[in-house]
Chain A
C-alpha cells in the first residue's frame, strides 16, 4: 500500500497548475468553472475549444490512449492528477464525451478506418462530441429505445428522436445507439454508430432548457439521416455491448464533481471568514463550521474513492459496480454540497446570476438547480444501485 505520488507525478502536477494558472487569466468574464460555461454561450464554448487545442498540443488529452493512436499509455492515476489540477482551476478543454468516452470505445470496438477518421481530431482537441442515447421514452430503461437504423445501399438511414443530448448544439461528432433489428426485443437488435454531424443530412437540433434557463441539452431529430455503413462501431445488432463498455468509462470519469465541490468549498471558507452575520463572521458559528467540515470530510472520502478507482483500473480490472459506486457517491455528494451551500448563504443564495447581490456570481443557485440532473445523468441513482446490487452483491434482478 502506497499513496505517494512519484517525483514525476509531483512535477507533472506543478506543470499542470502553472499551465492552468496562465490559461485561466484568459477566461471570459464571469467564468464559473462549471459545465454551464462550456455549453450555454458561444463565448464560453470558444474558450473551451481554445484550451482543448492547447491540451491537445501538450498531449494531455490522450495520456491513457495506446501509443499507436498517439497516446502515452499513462496510468489512470497520472490522468487523475491532471484532471484534479484542471478541476481545481475550473478550467475547460477536456471533452468527457469525446476524449473520455467515445475515444476509448472506438479504440476498443471500431474498425481501423473509423479510428483513423475520428480519433486524430479528438486527440488534437479540435472537435467536441455528443452522445445520442436517451429518448423521450427510453431513459433509465435505455434498451426500450425506438430510433431505427435501416440499411439502404452503402448507408444506414436513421429515423427517430433522441433527447438530453449534452452540448449537441456545439458538437461536431455524435455517437448514436439505434435499433437495427426490430424483430428482436430490447437490448438485442441495437447497433452503435459514430457520425460527423457536419456531413450528415437530416439532423435537427433543438434546445432543451434546464430549470435555471440555461441551454446545456438538446433534442435531436433524425429524419432520413444517412450515415455510411462503415460508421457502424462493433457488430450490427450487438451495439448494446459497445454501450456497456462506454458506460464504465463515463461513470468512472465523473470524479470531476468531487474536485468541483472542493474548489467551491475553498471559496466558501474564505467567504465565511470575511462575511459577518450578526456580531461575528460566519466562520465562527459552530453550525456553519460543522457543516463545512462535513463537506470537507465527504470530499476527502470522494477523492479517496476516485484514486481507488484509478488504481483498480491500473491494476487491470475495473469491475462495473465499482464505477457505479463512484458515480453514485459523486452525484449524491454534489446534491448534498449544493444544499449545504444554499443553507449557509441564506437569502443571498437564492439571488440569481447577474445581480450584484448574488454571491460568487450566482454559482450556487446554479449548482442547486443542476444537482437533480447529475443524479440522473450517466445512469440514475437507482440504476447505479441496481448495478451494484446485481454485480457487486449478486442479488437477483429486482422485483
Chain B
C-alpha cells in the first residue's frame, strides 16, 4: 500500500497549478462566465498545446497514454482555479468511453482530433425527468436501413451548444418492466445534423447547459458506440468516472477555499486582534480542513479502485456523496468566516460557493448516491 503520487504526477500537478494560476486568473473566470460560449477558445488551445487533451489518449492516436489518476490531478487543479470549459465533458465523458467501447474506425476518427484539441464532446444523457438512472431515458432511436433516427428531448446537457459531437444515450428497444438498462444504445451524433436544436441556458455553477431537441435526427449506424441495446454498462462506467472527476474538481476547489479562508482569518482584525485568534473561528477552519482532507482521501481511494477495474460502486457513491457535501459545507463556512465581503459578487468565494452546489447535483446528488450505497450494503 502506498498513498503517494509518483514523481511524474507531482510534476504534472505543479505545472498544472502554475498554468491555472497564470493563464486562468479569477478575472478571466468571470469574463468567461459572462460570455455566450462559457469557455475560452484561446485557453482551450493553450491547454491543448500543453498536451492536456491527449493526456489519457493512447500514443497511437496522438496522445501520451497517461492514466485516469493523471487526468484527475489535472481536473483537481482546474477545480482549484475554477477553470471553465468542456474538459471533463470531452475527456472523461467523451474520449474515455470511445477508448473503452469504440470500434477501430471510431477511435481513428475521434481520438486524434480530441488529442489535438480540435474536437469538443458533450454527453446527452439526462432528460426533463432530471434523473440519472437507466429507466428514466425516453429519447428513442429507430433503425432504418444503415442509419438510426433519433427523436426526443435531452435536458441539462453541459456544453452541447459548442460541442462538435454529442454522445447521445437513446432507447432502441422498449425495456421490460423493472429492467430499464435493457435496450439502451449510444450514438455519436454530429452536432450540425439537421433536426438537432440546441438552446443553452445559464446555471448557478456557470457551466452553460442546454435543452437539446432531436427532431428526426439521422445518425449513420457506424456511429453507434458499443453494442446495440447494451449500452448501459458503458454509461454506468462513464457516470462513475464522471462522478469521481467531479469529486476531484470539488476537492481542488475545496482546498482552495480552506486556504483562502485561513489566510483571511489571519489578516482580518476585529476587537483588536486577528479573528484567527478566536477559538470559534479556528474550530470552523479545522472542520473545513477535515472535510477537505477526508474528501480527498476517499476520492483518490475510489479513483484508484475504479482505474484498477476493481468492484467500486459503493466506494464511488460514498466518495461522491461525501465530497459533494464536504465542498458545500466548506464553501458555506468559508462564506461565513469571510463576513459580508464573501457574500459579494466581486469576491472569489462566490465562484466556489456556486460551483459547489452545481457539483453536488452532477452525476447523482447525495440522495441518489445514498440509494446506491443502500443497495450495495444489502438493503
Contact = CB atoms under 8 A, between A and B. Distances in A.
Given A312-B3, A389-B286, A3 B301 contact: yes
Interface in A278-301: 283, 288-290, 292-294, 296-298, 300-301
A46 B3 CA distance: 40
Interface string B289-328: 1100110011011001100100000110110011000000
Contact of B282 (A2, A283, A389): A389
Contacts of B304: 1-3
B73 to A, nearest CB: 10
Nearest to A299: B318
A1 B4 contact: yes
Given A265-B377, A311-B1, A393-B262, A386 B297 contact: no
Query: Chain B CB within 10 Å — which of A2, A395, A398 has the most?
Result: A395
A396 B265 CA distance: 11
Interface in B42-74: 69
Interface in B242-293: 262, 265-266, 273-274, 276-279, 282-283, 285-287, 289-290, 293
Contacts of A265: 377
Contacts of B379: 269, 272-273, 283, 288-289, 292-293
A275 interface: no
Contact of A308 (B273, B286, B297, B305): B297
A310 B305 CA distance: 19
B285 A304 contact: no
Given A329-B290, A393-B289, A396-B274, A289 B374 contact: yes
Interface stretch (B29-37, B157-165, B350-358, B365-373): B365-373
B378 interface: yes
B2 A311 contact: yes
Nearest to B273: A399
A355 interface: no
Given A273-B378, A301-B297, A396-B277, A3 B318 contact: no
B298 A300 contact: yes
B276 A395 contact: yes
B290 A296 contact: no
Contacts of B374: 289-290, 292-293, 296
Contacts of A2: 1-2, 304
Given A329-B290, A388-B289, A290 B367 contact: yes
Given A3-B301, A305-B297, A385 B1 contact: no
Contacts of A388: 286, 289-290
A304 B294 contact: yes
Nearest to B323: A301
Contacts of A325: 289-290, 293
Contacts of A3: 1, 301, 304-305
B337 to A, nearest CB: 12
Interface residues of A, number: 46
Nearest to A272: B379
B343 interface: no
A395 B283 CA distance: 10
Q: DSSP class of B's interface residues: helix, strand, loop or mixed?
A: helix
A290 to B, nearest CB: 5
Contacts of A293: 370-374, 377, 379
A281 B375 CA distance: 15
A386 B2 contact: no
| Interface magnitude class on chain B | 35 or more
Interface in A364-399: 382, 385-386, 388-389, 392-393, 395-399
Contacts of A290: 367, 370-371, 374
Interface of chain A, helix or strand or loop or mixed?
A: helix
A336 B45 CA distance: 49
A279 to B, nearest CB: 17
A4 B370 CA distance: 25
Contacts of A311: 1-3
Contacts of B308: 4
Given A269-B377, A289-B370, A396-B276, A296 B286 contact: no
A267 to B, nearest CB: 12
A396 B298 CA distance: 30
B69 A1 contact: yes
Contact of B266 (A392, A395, A397): A395
A15 to B, nearest CB: 18
A130 interface: no
B318 A297 contact: yes
A300 B315 contact: yes
Nearest to A5: B1
Contacts of A118: none
A344 to B, nearest CB: 12
B263 to A, nearest CB: 10
Interface in A244-288: 265, 269-270, 272-273, 283, 288
A227 interface: no
B2 A297 contact: no
A307 interface: yes
B289 A297 contact: no
Identify which of A3, A77, A292, A329 gathers the most chain B CB atoms within 10 Å of its CB: A3
B300 A297 contact: no
A3 B307 CA distance: 12
A382 B287 CA distance: 11
A178 interface: no
Contacts of A272: 379
Interface centre among A5, A329, A393 (most CB of B within 10 A): A393
Given A265-B377, A311-B3, A393 B318 contact: no
B293 A297 contact: no
Interface of B: 1-6, 9, 69, 262, 265-266, 273-274, 276-279, 282-283, 285-287, 289-290, 293-294, 297-298, 300-301, 304-305, 308, 314-315, 317-318, 321-322, 367, 369-374, 376-379
Given A3-B1, A297-B373, A388-B290, 11 more contacts: A292-B377, A297-B369, A300-B322, A301-B298, A301-B318, A304-B294, A385-B283, A392-B289, A396-B277, A397-B277, A399-B273
7 contacts: A3-B1, A290-B367, A293-B372, A296-B376, A304-B294, A307-B3, A389-B283
The 7 closest A-B pairs by CB, nearest first: A398-B279, A389-B282, A293-B370, A293-B373, A289-B374, A293-B374, A311-B3
